[in-house]
Structure 1
Amino acid sequence: MIDGAVFVSGAQRSGTTLLEKLLGMQPQVSMLSQPFPFLFVETKRAFLGTLDDGGGDSYPLGHLFHERRYTAAGFAAFLASWRTNAETLAAQFAAMRSYSGQYARFDTETVGTALASLPRDSDFAAVISSLARALAPDPSAPFCGLKETVSEEYMPALCSRGFRCAIIIRDPRDVLASLNHGRGREFGGELKPTLFNIRNWRKSVAIALSLESEPRFHWCRYEDLVDDPSAELARLGDRLELGTMQAREELVDADGQRWRGNSSFADHDGVSGASVSRYRDTLPDDVARYVEAACLPELRLLGYESSLGDTDATRVLRAFREPYTIVRAGFDDDAATPANAAREIERLERVSAFPDGESRFWFLSETAHRKLREGPRR
């Protein structure tokens, strides 16, 4: 078992960086922000290459819905048997020098020293843990970790190896507003189909629901974190067994400089709730209603505001037309088509059914399906 390793993830623009900064402000925790995203992408790409169709996915870290080529257990088994070497990792670090999605940066000598310290015959979890500590701002801290977005599917395997894992979830309408408006493209790249972003968000929720009874795992809502950071950090410290944690009025980055947030709309000093429900003044009404319709079971369960009934949601799903210009290739399966509208309507209808073997295609797991079926908690 691995001890002392922390991993944070969530959908893009969900508050992962804020959570990482709050954790990193604790004296017992040292955190890195997106230090080696290619390792997560290329490991998943290598796994997809073992499948019968040879992989070839444009975006290996996808939303997982309707995936019939493999199971979560199959991916976990691959991660347990996965091995790499210093040369391969050095090439990945070199390739990341020109990648804007790598936030924490390291010189060649630092990377070389970290790679030289890797334990022999290390599986994926051991490599991540070793690199997170070797490259940490404070390698002597009791807990060293990292955050990477859209990498929640790694958490079952990491949790089973002893990692302390956390997912942060934000109102999906605010997520989309932050991705598609303001400075969103600086953080999320060129626009993706609305349905792809919705499904990515639902992936976060599904994996959080599936893991929430696991030791050393916790998920939280962005809205609760910014409303009462002290209370949420206390819960996080308890669930992840990190000890006492306190919110700080001023946040700093790994270099000790004041961190003013990475909002798509405005800088913030410290923790701010200014971005909560910003979608009301940002998203077109038809987009906001479409997100609500496609995420209705999750919104109800997690206590987010919703006004649509099931019949209204079906009508909204059927009528939606993509208003954003999508120039990125590889997203045909998530376009706003009649076929996808029918799939989304069927998903809503399936929520009330008993969980079964088909649940993983629609809800990622029987556990997530069961909890959505049980309904609101708040």
Structure 2
Amino acid sequence: MTGAGLAQRRIGAQGLTVSSVGLGCSGMTSDYGLPDDVESVATIHRAIELGVTLFDTSDAYGAGRNEELIAGAIKGRRDGIALASKFGNIRGPNGERGGTNGHPDYVPQACEASLKRLGVDVIDLYYVHRIDPNVPIEDTVGAMARLVEAGKVRYLGLCEAGPQTIRRAHATHPLSAVQMEYSLWTRDAEAEILPTLKELGIGLVPYSPLGRGFLTGAFSSRDDLISTDRRHAHPRFQEGNFEENLRLLAPVEAIATARGLAKGQVALAWLLAQWDGLVPIPGTKRRRWLEENIAAVDVTLTADEIARLSDAFPPGAASGLRYPEFQLKKMGI
């Protein structure tokens, strides 16, 4: 799975190779701003033209509508695309949260539904979106392994899993990737997750690598977010925390100004420099931001610039939790 014009990276040791930056598609149908299907499809088409091969979705995004949007966008363009989807993070028809489901009998049902919505015969990378605390991970991954045997799925992954869960899952069937939030202001993965992945030969797919847009400098005040934007529920975007976090952006802006770059490009270049076994998936539904993000692949920060950014954003530097506390508890974090 290779695309012209964009550097490739290997995710894990199982054979999955994709573009060094992927595209997170969740915001095209839910959570961030107003949907724009026409521009979203145009963004996917432009991503393919630029050599992006990893496209990330989930059955939870827009209660399946996100998968349907991608299906229409990639029709006739499937060759060379690595489709990643997820299951187990239950959503109602209007986005209501319904807990998790990792029961072995549910896994093939969820997969068949995603295949139908995506209009494909196989999902390239299939994740457990959230770990079900009531089901042994061996049972869930065992059912996923049977999907691989049946040719429905090519590679397996977990999202937001702890090191011991990763080890148990990987012992059941080799994992290709773990997806976690990782960025300049969310460096939790560095303590235990990254060392575990490197030891086991599993890749990392960082989501929200631009801090849900915050690290791009796009927001000067909370009024820049429409009332229905999900970021209002995230502690780091709430009053008090938001203003404190704005102060973190000064070194990003300084480097961006000196180099003639966008702040988001600086943040992505820092992340790409952390490990060649990770592939970030910045999300956007606009071609403008897609092109800006992809251009970060060609940015090489100096060792001094990387150190300046790392020192300015030590783990825990951001004001506020990355999710509301009740969600972190459900995630076992």
Is TM (by shorter chain) over 0.5?
Answer: no
Q: Which has the larger radius of gyration?
A: 1
TM-score when scaled to structure 2? 0.32
Q: TM-score, normalised by structure 1?
A: 0.29
